[in-house]
A = this chain, B = another copy of it.
Amino acid sequence: MLPIVKGLLEGERRSLSRAISIVDNDEPDSKTILRQIFGKTGNAKTVGFTGPGGAGKSSLIGKLVPELQAMRYKTAIIAVDPTSPITGGAILGDRVRMQRVIEDDKLFMRSLASRGAVGGISNSVRNVIRILDAAGYDLILVESVGAGQLETEISKIVNITAVVFTPYTGDNVQAIKAGLSEIGDLYVINKGDLQGSSTLFNSILDLIGNTEKKPVVLKASAKTGMGIKKLAHSIDELLRAKRMDYKEKEKKMIEAELRDMVLNMIQQKVSYMLTSNKKYYDFIDKLISKSTDPYHAAEQLANEMLR
């Protein structure tokens, strides 16, 4: 066993932190770490937080964590930052604020940079969850900054998903349309003390609260503390109540992950095999002389390489 794996299993923060970096950057020891911890995983529950930028997810999580800790959850946070230079500044500000609120020995917090490919970041988050799980964290909150596909993608890799809105993000109705109405187990109207929050609460309750899934809809305020205890208890209840559903979801998650991994490996191997395949270069010559077409050539090569 690698010393770093031994360290993180013993709850050493420096090993944990370093192991996450290794895995997130796909450094050489990455696979060995993941193979060695895999048997120690499976205890942690995960909650995703998503919704439009500016909804106050970071502040909400900042207030929520002490409540969850009071319920004896050993909590860790993974924050997924988009690389967008436009929003980078604002998000960094939020992070700093959040970190100030929850400066705490028991808590572990880590930002991951979103690196373009949606599959890429999902894979990274999945692996970081495993490391935290192996290190003994039993509740992992994943905050996805509202940005494109990742906004809904995150729900596929966590046990339950909380969608956070505010009356003032403006794009609420659009956000609801854009697939957020199906993924939530919990809908939180943050800044629930502000004017307009009741209207938003009612319309979300009407639009989403009555769907087959019957998600929880509640108002909260990171600023005043309103609804935070209720949110923590809802999360706890959902995690306990839906244990059987998780088995089903976990199976689907593992199916998707295994398929992605097989596809990635095959892609790497095929790229390598092509460059040492005489037929590949023969086809290129034929394409240049127009004596075949790209589809025919690709099909021949693909069929030859697969069993």
- Residues of A at the B interface (CB closer than 8 Å) are 31, 34-35, 38-39, 41-42, 250-251, 254-255, 257-259, 261-263, 265-267, 269-271, 273-274, 280, 283-284, 287-288, 290, 293-299, 301-302, 304-307
Contacts and interface: CB of A to CB of B under 8 A. Distances in A.
Nearest to A274: B259
Given A34-B293, A304-B307, 12 more contacts: A34-B294, A34-B295, A38-B290, A41-B290, A258-B283, A258-B294, A258-B301, A261-B294, A262-B270, A265-B298, A266-B302, A267-B267
A99 B106 CA distance: 62
Contacts of A283: 258
Nearest to A298: B261
B35 A293 contact: yes
A271 B255 CA distance: 11
Main secondary structure of the interface of A (DSSP, over half): helix
A35 B295 CA distance: 7
A303 B251 CA distance: 23
Contacts of A299: 265
Contacts of A298: 258, 261-262, 265
A129 B250 CA distance: 45
Contacts of A306: 266, 269-270, 273, 305-307
Contacts of A288: 250-251, 254
B258 A267 contact: no
Given A254-B288, A288-B251, A35 B296 contact: yes
A240 B225 CA distance: 71
Contacts of A304: 307
